[in-house]
Amino acid sequence: ALFPCVSLFRLKDLEVPKLGDSDVHVKMLAAPINPADINMIQGTYAILSPLPAVGGNEGVGEVLEVGSRVSALKPGDWVIPADAGLGTWRTRGVFPEEMLLKVPSDIPVLCAATLSVNPCTAIRMLTDFETLAPGDSVIQNAANSGVGQAVIQIARASGVKTINVVRDRPDLPQLVERLMALGADHVVTEEMLRKPEMKDIFKSTPKPRLALNCVGGKSTTEMLRHLQPKGTMVTYGGMAKQPVMVPVSAFIFRDVRLRGFWMTQWRKDHAQDQESVAGMMDTLCQLIRRGQLTAPACTEIPLQDYRAALEASMKPFVSSKQILLL
């Protein structure tokens, strides 16, 4: 077994629990498989669900029925998880109202299913660390990830240029073409970060004030070399499973700032601040409606083929997000 954690899953038929006064009965429509879902199963993530648990932290469902005290939701509404740990890989669920966020049902189902993790992470990182103005630039690695694709599009919509770093791969020209079509200004491989050609990029694009890192190791150190003095690098993942190495000179002579970001923590910090959550969701839905933010490349897989979907999501160089259709 190449991916031992796949064997931890079973497809089970369960009774739908009784609907309490503050509960919402949801028919799940679609739910993606994200790296964090796999990390949770492997036990390498900061959240552990008590077992047996239902996998999946993201997805979209349709409200079938609401308890007598539920006022903000009604049958027919679309909902997404308000927080991690909901367990979205199921056909039906009964959840307390506060665990759900209403989203408009006039956006594509795959956009709604992939809304609560990657685009939210992207918009927070572009907003909360540096004040970027039109014409400024941002550099990011793993630019073909779900977050990376959202960063490209959200930055593009606000006039911010993106320098996108990807790993070299057999289908590199197709990948470059796809990211350019999303609105990427530059796409470079990790190897190119060291090359003199980078100077050509900075003739037309200013040096970035913000770097977004979800890789770690050498990729990150190389990316950091191009950051403006007093610029910020935000780390939100560590796919290379290696630490972030920073040359002393970057600290002393360029005073770079290193920060971290975890969407789950942001949600905890803003649990009482429904306005900023609603505002963020509204901004993202507006971008989707205007065609400025699309779902990442997706492969739709019926729930009964969940094993194949899990295995596909763990293969290297996957440029497509596996989405379970429920």
> pLDDT digit string (tens) for 236-274?
998 888 999 999 999 999 999 999 999 999 999 999 998
Give CA separation, 15 vs 59, 89, 94, 147, in Å: 21, 15, 11, 36
Closest CA to 37 of 326, 321, 325: 321
Active-site position among 3, 45, 202, 262 = 45
What does the mean pLDDT of the chain come to? Answer: 93
190 within 8 A of 219, measured Cβ to Cβ: yes
* Rounded Cα gap, residues 24 and 21, in angstroms: 9
Residue 320's pLDDT band (boundaries 50, 70, 90)?
confident
Taking 70 as the threshold, does the pLDDT of residue 2 lie above it?
Answer: no
Q: Which residue has the higher pLDDT, 55 or 316?
A: 55
Q: Are the beta carbons of 37 and 4 closer than 8 angstroms?
A: no
CB 175 within 8 A of CB 166: yes
Active-site residue 45, yes or no? yes
pLDDT at 35: 82
Segment 40-82, tens digit of pLDDT? 877 777 777 777 889 999 999 999 999 999 999 999 999 999 9
- What's residue 3's pLDDT? 64
> pTM for the full model?
0.92
The answer to whether the beta carbons of residues 231 and 244 sit under 8 Å apart is no
What mean pLDDT do residues 216-240 have?
Answer: 94
Segment 151-155 shows an average pLDDT of: 98
Residue 1 has pLDDT above 70, yes or no: no
The Cα angle at residue 271 between residues 273 and 104, in degrees rounded to 5: 75
What is the per-residue pLDDT for 44?
A: 74
Tell me, what's the pLDDT at 43?
Answer: 74
Q: H/E element holding 237?
A: none
For residue 122 the two structure tokens come to 């992207």
CA 74 from centre of chain: 28
Query: Which pLDDT does position 158 carry in this prediction?
Result: 97
pLDDT tens-place string over residues 18-32: 999 999 999 999 999
- Which tokens belong to 130? 């540096």
Is the pLDDT at 161 greater than 90? The verdict is yes
Question: What values do phi and psi take at 101, rounded to 5?
Answer: -120, 135
For the chain, domains (ranges, CATH) are 6-114+295-325 (3.90.180.10), 117-263 (3.40.50.720)
